[in-house]
């Protein structure tokens, strides 16, 4: 009887402790896999919001591959052409945010291909082995002398919220 009482007391103190260790607002409460191991995967987009507008249908065929050593590729379709972004990712010191730095080629008209630099800083809100959510800011920068269509700016910034499922 004393053993059962002792186990109940340990459980009563341990359960709240584990619940307060929750790193990401949507889970998990505890994981035996490292954060880098959970991030490393081939990811497909299940939901994508840009500046509060649902653009999931534009990104249904996009695939992002993240490796445990910090490598990143992102494949998407733009005007019928498959584009591959390549770069890297790093956690912040608390492993709550991920920053991606990548580049991709873009045809700027007239047969000129330029390199676009992309920096994304994303707050992770859910990180499971087969599901990941994040939200944050994205900045895409064109080389000096080029601008985004319909603007005079070489910088395009927006907010994004993305939900991923493993492929």
Listed by start position, the domains of the chain span 24-166
Determine how many CB atoms are found less than 10 A away from the CB of residue 2. Answer: 6
* Of the candidates 149, 144, 134, the residue with the CA atom closest to the CA atom of residue 98: 134
Residue where the block lists tokens 């490393």:
40
DSSP label of 143: P
CA 78-84-85 angle, to 5 degrees, is 110
Asked, as a colleague might, if the bond just before 28 is cis with ω within 30 of 0, I would say yes
Structure tokens at 141: 């920068």
Top-confidence residue, 60 or 19? 60
Alpha-carbon gap, residue 49 to 160, rounded angstroms: 5
* pLDDT over threshold 70, residue 76: yes
pLDDT digits 0-9 by tens, 43-65: 999 999 999 999 999 998 999 99
Span 134-161, mean pLDDT? 93
pLDDT band at 79 (very low <50, low <70, confident <90, very high): confident
- What are the DSSP E strand ranges found in 59-96? 63-66, 71-78, 81-91
Span 118-138, mean pLDDT? 96
CATH of span 24-166: 2.40.128.30
Is residue 141 within 8 A of residue 153, CB to CB? The reply is no
Give me Rg for the CA atoms of the chain. 20
């Amino acid at each position: 009887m004393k053993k059962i009482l002792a186990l109940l007391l340990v459980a009563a103190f341990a359960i709240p402790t584990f619940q307060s260790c929750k790193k990401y607002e949507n889970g998990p409460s505890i994981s035996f896999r490292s954060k880098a191991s959970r991030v490393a995967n081939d990811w497909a987009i299940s939901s994508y919001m840009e500046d509060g507008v649902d653009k999931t249908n534009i990104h249904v065929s996009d695939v992002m591959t993240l490796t445990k050593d910090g490598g990143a590729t992102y494949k998407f379709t733009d005007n019928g052409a498959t584009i591959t972004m390549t770069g890297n990712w790093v956690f912040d010191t608390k492993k709550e945010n991920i920053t991606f730095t990548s580049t991709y080629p873009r045809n700027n008209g007239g047969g000129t291909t330029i390199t676009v630099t992309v920096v994304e800083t994303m707050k992770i809100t859910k990180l499971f082995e087969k599901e990941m959510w994040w939200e944050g800011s994205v900045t895409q920068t064109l080389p000096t002398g080029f601008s985004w269509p319909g603007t005079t700016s070489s910088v395009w910034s927006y907010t994004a919220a993305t939900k991923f499922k493993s492929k």
